Amino acid sequence: MSNSDIVMSFIDAWNNMDWDAAADLLTDDIVWDNVPMATMEGKAV
């Protein structure tokens, strides 16, 4: 799966509120930076 495929799959899962499918596309060392919210690190958050 290409990077673009992963991003599009994540967007589709997010838009469908399929949180499990979205989480399956994340790595354990993800850094989520969603401005203006605080940065979160790790898949567990």
3-state secondary structure of 4: helix
Question: How do residues 1-45 score in pLDDT, each as one tens digit?
Answer: 899 999 999 999 999 999 999 999 999 999 988 888 899 899 877
Res 26: pLDDT: 92
Res 20: pLDDT: 96
Res 31: pLDDT: 92
Res 17: pLDDT: 98
Separation of alpha carbons 35 and 43, rounded Å: 18
Separation of alpha carbons 11 and 6, rounded Å: 9
Number of helical (H) and strand (E) elements in the chain, helices listed first: 2, 2
Res 34: pLDDT: 84
